[in-house]
Structure 1
Amino acid sequence: MSQKGVKSIAEQTRQMGGYDKIVAKSAESLKQKRSILAETEKAYKQNTKQLNENIKGLNGQKSAIGSLMTSKKAEIQALESANAGLNKNSQAYKDNVKAIQWTQNEYKGLQKQHDEVSKSILSNESALNRESAAYNSAKSAVANASQQYKTLAQNQKAIVGMEKALNLQDVGESWQKAGQSIDAITKPIQLASVALAAGGVASAKFAIDFEDNFANVKKTVDGTEPQLEKVRQGIIDLTTTGIDGRNAIPQTTAQLTELAATGGQLGIATDEIVNFTETMAQMNTATNLNGAEGAAILAKFMNVTGTEQREVRNLGSAIVDLGNHSATTEADIASMALRLGRTGTVVGISAQDVLGYSTALSSLGIDAEAGGSAVSRTWTKLQNAVSQGGEDFRQFF
C-alpha cells in the first residue's frame, strides 16, 4: 500500500478516536463471544447428556413395547390357528374369538404407545441437533472474531505509528520517524476487513458493528450458510446500492438487522427475509408503523390471516394507500387488523376485507383493543347464527 493510502487511513482513524479503539472494540467483541461460547458449551454438555439419556431410555421402552407387540401378535395367530379346527358354534370357538378381540385391543394400545415413544425419540433427537448447531455456531463466531482481532492487532503498531506521525506539527519530520512503521504495512492490512481493503477504517468499524448486529439475525433466521450469506448481502445492498432497481433505503444496517431478526423470530421464511425487511424499512420511512414493533404487527397479521409471505410488499402498499386516503394512520389500521385478523380468518373474511374494516373502524376513532374485541364477538355470533339458523339468525335482520 502506498504512503498516500496509509496517510488516508490514519487520517480517518484519528477522526474516529484512533485505531486503538477499533482494535479494543474487536477485543471486547471477542471476549463477549468467548463468554457466550463458555455458557453455550456448559448448557450443551448438560443438555446433550440429558437428551442422550432420554433417547437411551426411550429406545429401551420402544424395544420392550416392540417385544410385547410381537408376543401379542403371536397370541392372536395361535388363537386364530386354534379356531380353524373348531366348530363355530362351540363354546371354545366363541371363547377364542373373545380372546382374539381382547388381544387385538391390547395390540392396538401397544401400537399407540410405540408410536408415541417413537415421536418422543424424534423430538429429543431434533433437540440434540439444535443443541449441536447452537454450539457449533458459537464456536464459529469465536473463530471469526479471533481471526478478525488477530488481523487488526498485527497491524496496530504500524497504524498507530502513522497516527502519531500525523499529529506532529512538522509533518515532514514525522514521516521520517514513522518510516519503518509505514514499511511494515503491506498486504495483511488489506485483509483486516472490507474497510481496510477499500482504504477506509471507518468501513472496518462498520464491518465489526454489522457482524455483531447480524449475529442477532442468525439467532432467529434458520437457514443454510448460503441462504444466510444472501440475507447478509441483501441487507448491505439495501443501504448502499438498492435491490432490483429500487433506491437504497436511508436507514442504518443496525435498524435493518433488527427488522430482519424480528421477521425471523415471527416465522418469516429465510428466502423472504430481505423482501420483508425492505418493505418494513420503506414503511418506517413513509408511515408511523415503525421499527421492530411495526414489523411484529405486520408479520403476526400475515400469520393469522394466512397471507403468503411473498405478498408482503403488496400488503404494505395496501396499508399505506388506505392510510393516505382515510382519516387514520397506518399504525392504527395495522393494530386493528391484527385484532380482527384471527376471527376474520375463522369466519371466512379475507385479509383484504379485514384491512377495509380496520380502516373504517379506526377512522371513527375506535380503539383497536376494545373495538377489535367487540367486532370479533359480533362476527363470531353471526357465524354461529348462520350455521345454526332459527331465531339466532333472524335477530340479525
Structure 2
Amino acid sequence: MIGIIGLIFAILILSILAYKGVSALPLTLLAGLVVILTNRMDIWTSYSEYYLSGYVGFFKGYFLIFASSSLYAKVMEDSGAAVAIGYKFVDWFGKQRAVLVVFLSTAVLTYGGVSLFVVIFAVLPIIMVLFKEGDVPRRLAAGCLGAGAATFTMTTLPGSPQLTNVIPSRFLGTPLTAAPVFSIIAAIFQFVLLYAYLRWEEKRLREAGEHFSYIEGQDVKQYEIDRDQLPSAFASFLPLVVLIVLIIALKGVIDNATMLVVAAMCVATVLATVLHWSRLKDKMKTINVGLSSAVPAIASPCAVVGFGTLVQNSSSFVDIVAWINSFNMNPYVSGTLATAIISGITGSSSGGLQIALQTFGEQFMQSGANLQILHRLIAIAAGSLDSLPHSSGVFLMLAILGLNHKSSYRFFGITTVVIPLITFVIFTAGIIVLGI
C-alpha cells in the first residue's frame, strides 16, 4: 500500500512541479526517488539500470527520427517554404480559419503515418504564419496539435498506421480497420467535440484580449518577409507531399517503421534543399542548427520514459496490474479501464496497450467479446490518460512551441484526455447496452 501511495504521489509531483516550470530531468529524478524509497528499491540499480535503460532506449529508438525531422523543418523554415505553405493556406481558407487548418493539417499528416514526434517539427512554421495572420494566441496551438495528432487519427479512424492502432492487431489478430463503421462514428463524434472546444477557446481568448506572440528569442525575420520573395507554392508543398506519399507507399516495402520515417524525411530534406538551394543563404548553419536542435528536443521525452521504465519495475506497479486483473467485469469495461489506467501510469498509449495486452490478452480472447469492437475501444482508452501532464509528448510539444504547462496544458489536456475519455466511456456503455 505504501508503494502504491508513493507511486500516486510521484505522479502528482510530476504534474504539480511541471506546472511550476521544473524541467523534465530534475522532475523525473525526484519523482523516481519517491517511487524508489516507497517501494524499497535499490537506489543505484533503479537509476543506473531501470531509469537509464528507458532513457537510453528512447534515445536510441527515436534519435534519428528527431534529427531527420529537425533538419527537414530547418531547411523548410530557412528556405521560406514553410512560410509559403502557411500563406497559401491563408489564401485557400482565410485567416479566420487558422485553428481549423492547423487542426486538419496535423490530422492529415498523422493519419498519413507521420508520428507525433515528427509532426510537431513539420507544422510549427505553418502554425506561426497562420496564427500570426489570424491573431490567434500561440498557446492555443497546444490544443490544435493535440486534437490533430493524438486523438481520432491515432486511435479511432480505421486503418491508422499509428502504434496505438497497430498493437491491438498484433495481440488480438484483428485488422487495422477493425470495426470500421463503429470506428468512423466514434471518430466523427470526437472530431465534432474537438473542433467545438477549440472554437470555443479561440472565442474566449479573443474576448479576454489575448493576441498572437512569437516564441521568445525566435528570429522573426522569416515571418515578416514580403510574400513576393517567397518560393512558389508548388516548390514549397512538393517536399511535404513526397514525405507523406513515401511513408504511405513504402509501408509494405520497409518493415522497420523508424527506418521508413527516417528514409522519407531524408528524401524530403534533400528534395527541399535542391529545390531551394539558392534560398538557403548559410547552408552550413542550416545543417548545424537543424541537426543539433534534435538533442534538446529529445532530452525531455527521454527523461519521462526513463521514469516510466523505473515505475514498471516497481513492486507497486505489479500490484496495480494484479489488482486490475482481479476485476470481474464486462470485458469491454475491464479492457478499457485497465488500458487507460496503465497508459496513465506509464504516460504512453502504446506502452499502456503493450502491457495491458501482454497481461490480459488471452483473457480478452476467451471472453466472448467482439474482438474488433474491443480493439477499437481499448485503442481509444489508451489515448486518454496517456496524455496526463507527465507524458513525454507533452514536454516535447510545449518545448517546441515555447510554452509551458501552466499556460497551455489545459488545451492539450482537454483535447487529448477529457474528450477521448468521454468518447470511450459513452461508446463502451453504448456497446454494452446494445448487447454487441
* TM-score, normalised by the number of residues in structure 1: 0.23
